[in-house]
Structure 1
Amino acid sequence: MRVLPISLSLTLAATLSAQAGPPQLILQVAKFRNLDQVQKGGEVEISVVVPTQPLTYRQRAPKSFQSSAVVDLDILKADGTSAWHETVTLKPPVLSDTTIAIKNPLSFLKRVTVPDGTYTLRGRIRDQYKSANGETTVEQSLVIAAPTAPTFSDLVFLAKPAAKAGAESVFNRGGYLLTRAAGGFYGRGTENLYFYTELNAVPAGRSVRLHYHLSAEDGTAADADAPLVTTQGGRPTPIVGQLPLGPLPAGHFTLTIEARDAATKKVLATQSQGGQRSLTEYAPAGAAVPR
């Protein structure tokens, strides 16, 4: 998963002074292989976070204010033609006082299946109540390709432990219900880091040992080993886990996962993902289905 270059500490803990600037849009992308063996390609999960602090609030009634924003999402092929497009309208909750500092970010999740290839993800947000400086566009390149060797999918950070689930929805994957941590942000009072990934292209029935390494920018680090995992046949092997955040200071952190063949001790695959921790700010709610 790769984050567009917008500071999480700035956007997720934005102050009211940010209202003078343009709207903000945080896109995170997690790429997985398609679980449908007949339909080749990849599944792209797009996590969208919109801080509501910079949005313009209009009065709807006495002591009733609300903002509104439109998010356009596009996946473009290498030749510039559209592979997928969707528009989502966001309406944050009504506020009785726009000086209230607690305006929680809004987040939602989209899952798109595309053939292998090279693409561009484009996101555009428009503040519907602001004509000047009321639009922001961000782009990110995407490469979808079948693995030729053992590899992890992108790492996904979760707001709470993955739970077994049978029903299919945009929040389910690999038999688990996954509640994404918006923007990879862990806030005040959070004691554990939860995560999900998948191990691809390892022969069925292979025993794999997983090692986790969690580190902060000041050098603080912690290591842990997970129980042996037996790989599945014909499909990715789901990996779920959790680690205590206790020793980590506030700021940026990195989780690295390493998979070794239990018999030969050979490293099969590694994957890393960065997140953000705050000891003072509360984390936003998990992603919801947009209206």
Structure 2
Amino acid sequence: MRYLFPLFALLLSLAAQAGPPQLFLDVARFRNLDKVQKGAEVEIYVTVPTQSLTYRQRAPKSFQSAAVVTLEVLNADGKPAYREVVTLKPPVLNDTTMAIKNPQSFLKRILLPDGRYTLRGTVRDQYRSANGETTVEQPLVLETPGAGLFLADIVLLARPAANSAGEDNFSRGGYRLTRTPTGFYGRGTENIFFYTELHQAPTDKPLRVHYHLEAADGTAADADASLTPKAGRPTTIVGQLPLGPLPDGPFTLLVEVYGGPGNKKLLGGHRVSGTRNQVDYAPGGAAVGR
């Protein structure tokens, strides 16, 4: 589940500094492994493009921006189920005319019971009084899956998932995940990378996983892989697909799992949307917010 925003290339425009600060929310829902409480483990990935912030000179050839992000999850009655305030202080720059300024991001992982919520993010530019605040909202629906096989939300990544033994918010399923904000793949990117989790799959034999990548004009690419599910715990699915002939613009990635005789019976699937833009570079990997 992802919130759709205008073309992410706007992050690279110096003209963005004249407008209000920007805020992007990416949400992924995973199975809550607590069998007592129904609901989901929700990952909220928040990105603030520093290109849209005001830089204040702190010393000769020393400039820095700062922003405060308020992240809230509201119940259907408007009461908060979660609220946190995070201050972002991007690295000091010696030249504010740099064409690309890497965004600042942070990730929150929270447990929520089943229900309908509103996710709200507000960013405030600390060095701008007028037109210095932006609020973004999106619906969030959590429903505990039934007894059959199911896939968690697919997370699009800026680079391949890397094996990791560490435990922090950027690690999941034994991998270090570098997300790409709003699923944007810019100039110089030849592949998309992704991560998801398979639950409650039969473990008696390998399953077939089918990947379908398709652009808005119908241009498509397909691939298959074999997967042996793990008993008693989620089975991670990580991979990459070449963007190849896909044109610029929106695309969808569909992941399907097949089993049964000849692995021809569809057991479950999930899709995610992204954007390709071969003109503008995507910013580098986002830093962890402080």
Do both share a fold (TM > 0.5)? yes
**1:224 alignment partner AA:** A
In structure 2, the residue matched to 1:143 is 141
CA distance in 1, matches of 2:171, 2:33: 12
1:43, CA displacement in angstroms? Answer: 0.8
1:261 alignment partner, one of 259, 262, 268: 259
In structure 2, the residue matched to 1:8 is 7
CA distance in 2, matches of 1:114, 1:63: 46
Q: Which whole-Å deviations, capped at 9, do the CAs of 1:115-166 have from their partners, x for residues lacking one?
A: 2222211100001111111111111111112111432211101122222333
In structure 1, the residue matched to 2:163 is 164
2:227 pairs with 1:237:
no
CA distance in 2, matches of 1:159, 1:99: 25
Counterparts in 2 of 1:90 and 1:258: CA distance versus 1, 3 Å: same
Gaps of 5+ in 1: none
1:261, CA displacement in angstroms? Answer: 1.3
In structure 2, the residue matched to 1:23 is 21
Structure 2 counterparts to residues 184-199 of structure 1, below 5 A: 184-199=183-198
The 8 Å contact of residues 104 and 288 in structure 2, kept in 1 or not, is answered as no
Gaps of 5+ in 2: none
* RMSD (CA atoms): 2.0
Structure 2 counterparts to residues 1-291 of structure 1, below 5 A: 1-3=1-3, 5-13=4-12, 15-37=13-35, 40-148=38-146, 149-205=148-204, 207-227=206-226, 229-263=227-261, 265-291=264-290
Question: What TM-score, normalized to structure 2?
Answer: 0.91
Counterparts in 2 of 1:205 and 1:163: CA distance versus 1, 3 Å: farther
1:177, CA displacement in angstroms? Answer: 2.0
CA distance in 2, matches of 1:191, 1:65: 34
Q: Which moved more, 1:134-143 or 1:213-222?
A: 213-222
**1:65 alignment partner AA:** F
Q: Which moved more, 1:277-286 or 1:56-65?
A: 277-286
Q: Number of paired residues?
A: 288
Secondary structure class of the residue paired with 1:235: coil
CA distance in 2, matches of 1:107, 1:266: 40
CA distance in 1, matches of 2:287, 2:99: 22
The 8 Å contact of residues 184 and 282 in structure 2, kept in 1 or not, is answered as yes
The 8 Å contact of residues 256 and 268 in structure 2, kept in 1 or not, is answered as yes
Counterparts in 2 of 1:35 and 1:162: CA distance versus 1, 3 Å: farther
Question: What TM-score, normalized to structure 1?
Answer: 0.91
Counterparts in 2 of 1:8 and 1:37: CA distance versus 1, 3 Å: farther
CA distance in 2, matches of 1:173, 1:51: 25
Secondary structure class of the residue paired with 1:53: helix
1:10, CA displacement in angstroms? Answer: 4.2
**2:185 alignment partner AA:** Y
**1:188 alignment partner AA:** R
CA distance in 2, matches of 1:284, 1:108: 15
CA distance in 2, matches of 1:91, 1:66: 7
The 8 Å contact of residues 11 and 51 in structure 2, kept in 1 or not, is answered as no
The 8 Å contact of residues 109 and 287 in structure 1, kept in 2 or not, is answered as no
